[in-house]
Each structure stands twice: as structure tokens, then as C-alpha cells.
Structure 1
Amino acid sequence: MMKKFPLMRNNIARQDLDLVIEHLKLDDPILTNGPKCREFEAAWSKWLGVKYSVFVSSGSAANLISMAILKAENPQGGEIIVPPLTWVSDIASVIQNGFTPVFCDINPTTLAMNDREVIAAITDRTVGVFLTHVQGFNGLTDWLVDELNARSIPLIEDVCESHGAEHKGKKVGTFGYMSNFSFYYAHHMTTIEGGMVCTDDEALYQKIRMFRSHGMLRETTDIALQNEFKATYPDLNPAFIFAHAAYNLRNNEIGAIIGLNQLKGLDQIVADRTANQELFFSLLDGEKYQKDFLFEGSSNYAFNLILKNKDDELMKRLEVALDENSIEYRKGSAGGGNQIRQPYLKDLNLGLEPRDFQNTEHVHFYGMYIGNFPTLNAEEIKEICSVINAV
């Protein structure tokens, strides 16, 4: 049964569907990856402020491509520094590419990795830092960016939940070696399913294009690179040279049509979500719930509701109140809480103890998020807060 206050409401507009129908009415409409996908990639790059973007099938696909390219550049393997509070595909993509995940606890005010723990975790085996901007918060600090640059350690930004978030007036997703976005239905904007990999590095862009599409050489727009491979492999059909053992993670024209239309309103969506966030936290009871987040530059994905103190009984009463008032929520916040507790990590024998990550553990047991979306109005936010504050 649909909740009165769901996690997301009305994220695909009638106009989005009408544009798709208009396309389908063409005499011979292209449906697979084609000109609309390229138009969406160009529009997204302009909006974000990067040189190159590649449209893929999901945010998880973007993560997989990012880690696969790092593995191609580091065939010896190594360590990737990751957060315990994130979506599963961030960690899974690290493991799937033969890297060892090294976990750092979060900063409670941003829910992203603590920058000092990240720098302290760097060893001579570190080949990348995979930082998640959690649920609209900016997870960067100047010190972290500068230190990684000085040490020539690639930063990969997961911005799947944080479209439009900023660090010092510049959009996150523009600071790293590459960045990943998701256009899943519940996110700031959607292409139904979909994602984007972004970069300013031209050589990296060419790799991303090939890794998205079977590793095929013909996917690159670099003519010199094409000619080099053709000369090296004269016995191969130039249309079927596979430069990398890669994937098919392409998206399609229908997703791009929806994305192009939704992108037009993304700045307003971010503004509406931010206004909702300000009202929500202005009304929230600061005696019981955490309010000291770093809101500067955030582009709120969802309202994080975290108890200030450990209190199992209060948590149980809060869940009952939300259920009784038809307010949808997700315990543990991003990705269901502490990833270190998940069964997929057990067989790796990493020697991890969940309780060593105290800030993430607190969110796991005493945190949750509830929905924020542009059509959520002030009266509804007041009603939600009255339920929460009355617990």
C-alpha cells in the first residue's frame, strides 16, 4: 500500500512520457544508444562543469566501470579506501576488480569518510580513494583534495545521491579523477534506470567509452588510437577490435529523452529540496535528534533522522510512530547502514570489527532517512515533524 509520505513521489512527469511517445511515433525511431544519448551526455557535462560524460545503464554500472579502469591501470591490484556507509555497489565493484577495500569511519556531520582517517589509511598499496557524497551532503574538504593531489592518488567521487551538491561553490563530481552519478527513480532526477561517468581527462574518457561497450575500439573517438590498434592488429576486422575485456553497460534513447527533459528542472529541484531541508531541521527537536550537520553546499536527497544518543526504546517508539502515520523510512541511512556487517564481506577475511567504526555503527542502529522531494510541501513537513517530535 502506498504510504502517505513515501520516499519519492511523482518523479517522472507527464511531459517526460509525452516526449517518449512523440519519439516512438517517428517512422523509424532509434531506441538503442544513439544521438539522444550523446545529446544528454553533452548537456550533462555542461550542467556539471566537466569536459566529458558517458551515459551508462545505472549508477552501479558507473561504479563498475570506474573500478575496472583503475584495475586496468593497476594490474598488480592494491587497496581502495572506501566508506562503510554507502551503497553496496561501491564496495562490490572494488572486490569484483580484485582490489582490497580499506574502510574509514565517517564524519557524523557529513556522513562521508573522515578526511583524517582517509589520509592516515594511505599506504604504498593505495591506488585510489572512493568517496561517497552521502544523501546530498558534500563530503570533501580542501585538505583531503590537496593531500590526494599531492600524493597522486586518484579520487573517485560517488555522487549518486547528491546531484548539485557543492564544495566551495563548485559542484562535487568535478574534483576527482572521475565521478559517478545515478539516475535511479528515487534520485534528484531520473532516466528510470541510468547513470553517468564523468571526467576532465581525455584519455580516461576514451577508456570509459570502450569499457561501456564491450571494450570495442570503434567506441573511441580518438582516431590516432584507432589507427594504432589497426596497425598492430592488421588481421582483425577494424569494426571488431576489442581493446579491453569489458562490459555492455550502455543506456538507450528513451532514458536520454527523459534525462534531457528532467535536466532542465534540476537546479529548481535542488533548490526545492534544500528549502525543505531547512524547514525540516528548523522544526526538528534538537534535544532528541542530531541537527549539527554541515549543510553548506548540500543538495538534500533525504531527511536523515539520527538519534543524538543511543536509545533503543526511543528508536522502537519512533519506528512505531512512523509506521502508524504512514511515513516511509529506511533504517541505517545510506545503503542500510554499516556495510561491514553485510554477509558479502564475511568470506574475504578482512579482520574487520563493525564496532571499530563507531560513528557508522551509531547511524546503523540509531539512524534512518525519510523522503524529501520537490512536491513535499511545508504543511506536510510540519505534520511529519510533529509526529517525530511527539515520540
Structure 2
Amino acid sequence: MAKELRTVAERSPDATLRRIGRSAGRNDPIWELRVGSGETNVHLVTQLHGDEPAGTEAILRVVRELVRNPEANRDILRGLTLTVVPRANPDGAMFVSDDDGDGNRERVTRRENVQPWRRRDSRHEPDYHTGEGPPGYDLNRDFDPTANSPGAAEPSGAAASTRPRARGSTEWTQYEEDGETLWRHDRTYRGYTLSGCGLELTPEVAAVADSYRRARPDVAITHHHKSVGTRGRGSETPSLLSVMAAFGPSFLRQAPSYGSEESPESVVNPFIDAETSRRSLRLNAFVARQLASSGEFGPVTRYGYEPLWGSYLDSLSPKTNAAGMLYEVAGQSDERDSIDYARKVAVSRAAFRRTLEAVASDPDLATMNANAYFDLPLESGGPTTR
């Protein structure tokens, strides 16, 4: 991938490439590619989970299209500055193992990076770290929503030079799951209790977060894979693609898990204001309708939203009032009946293109009704799998 990124950057005045970090286990470079020169900033990250590669291949195809034919893509290149972090988890993407015991190590990929938990890192081993196989972290649980905020204090430990930590009340909750004792990190912040808050213990997440802060995006996009067992209500087969908008209290009652006894921060993101929520909802609804109307990929569903306090979207998008967008394409890499990989890449590419074209044309999508998002069929899955 590095060779391809360098080729794109060298051949086009509209593209720049820089290394923003290295992975914990393999010490592989983590790259950031910036394309375009427009006033509207878009930040896009793929493959936070190493075994979810379709988004990486799709966005590389889109970038190649943009730089190879700049005249045809003039509106995007002049309307947007697109910052892409492709393959944010090289450890997981390039993971090799001798799973069949034949003495040969083969590339199998995996969700987590490769990184041990050390006692100096945190009071307890967080529940998003696994000790099985080589140990590692789920990167989309490690983002810290309180980092780089007013009143932040410097942390102790190995990451002290790069990872600010807020002065919030930190608590650890012990619980049992499948006969195993786990520890969840919770934090009280701005009057809210953020359950399952990330600690930013991984160099990959630190690199992505720094890239985000430098880009100061108006739109934040991340791409994942969902299980083929996830179905839209009333549908007989999984939708090929789901979209998910991050939104705040202005749309509390429309949230899938809304209940009168639920705390707001467990249902919506209280740090996302009304206008940013509307932009998020409009963008997701618009792209979903555009893709569905083409008839090429079938219906596009709405992925159930509630905050995931260690995730890219919920931790970072409020910092710049960025409209948040998640794509979930059907089929995990290890699922036997997974959707054809070429279809995953094709729908992801189409989704990226429609998104960039829409934002370049009208960053606010003011003609779209935000409530149209809630008319999309709701997937039965939820945020714990993203």
C-alpha cells in the first residue's frame, strides 16, 4: 500500500502524503494522504479493525480516480480537502498465524492491534484489551473523548509525552462476561458519565487523533464491516450497506434506545449540538437514498446508534462540530457466508463517491430533511459491534 500511496502523491499536485505514526506490534508506518484544496475539510479513516479491509481498498480506488482525472473531479478537488488515514491498524491487517497447524504462517488478519497491556498503562486492564493469541487492543474502543479539552492534564506513564488526559473523575467497573472478570473504564466528564471510555493507550489511535486535530474536519467518516447475521426490520437478507449518523440531544426521542429512565449520554452524544446533529442526519440520509435509488446495491439501512465512548466518531467529531458518518458493509472476514468481497468494495466506493460529491456541492445539504434519516429501515444490530 505504501508504494501505491507514494505513487499517487508523486504524480499529482493535488495530493500530499505523510507518515503520522507506527503500529505497536509490527512497527509498520501509518499513513495520511491529503487530497484537494477546498474549504470544506473531510477526515476519513478505514480499517481501525484489521480484519475489515473493504473500506481501505474502496477509498484508494476513489483517490486514484480523483488524481488521475482532475478535470472530471474538479468539483471535489476544489470544494474539499480530503484527509484519509487508510489502514489505521497495520498489525491487524497484516496479522499472520499458523491456524491450521501445518507449520506455515499465513496472513489471516485480526480485529485488534498487537500490543501487551502493562500495569503502568492503567489501573486495570481495560475490557477492550485481549490477552488471547498475541495480546492487543480494539482500536475503536481506545479513543479518549476527554483528550485535548480545556482543563486537560498531562498523564503519567509511557504515553505521557503524546497523550493528554482530562481532569475527570475516573472509575473502574468490574463485571462478569462468559465466566470472565472484566474491567470497564468509566469517566465523569462535563457532568456526564461516559461508560466504557477509551484511554488512548495505542500509538495507532494517538496517530489518528492527531491527524484529526490537524485536519479540523467539517465531516468525519469511518468505515467498518458488520455481521451478515444483522438484518433490517422486515428484511429477509442482510442489507449490503448500513449508514449511521452520530447525533445529540436535539433528537433524543428518535434515538433507537430512547427511554424515559435512560441517561442521555447512554442514548445520544450530549456534546453534539443541534446544527451538527442535523448536518449528520442529512448527510447520512441523502447518501442512503442516493445509493438505494440506483437499485444496484439494494436497500440501505440505518445502523442503530448510541454512543460508544471509545470510538472514533463519538470521541472526535464533537471537537470540531463535524458531521459524523459511519459505513457498515455486510460480512466479516471470518464469516463463511460473507458477502462477496468485490461487492463490499464496490458499494463502499460508491458510498464514498456519493458522500464526497454531496459535501462538495452543498456542505450543509440544507435541502434535505434531517428527519428523513429516521425513515430508513433500522438494523437489528447495534453499536457494540462497530
Please give the TM-score of this superposition, normalised by the length of structure 2: 0.25
TM-score scaled by structure 1?
0.24
Tell me which of the two structures has the higher relative contact order, counting C-alpha pairs closer than 8 angstroms and 6 or more residues apart: 1
Structure whose alpha-carbon radius of gyration is higher? 1
* Between structures 1 and 2, the one with greater strand share: 2
* Structure showing the higher helix proportion among its residues: 1
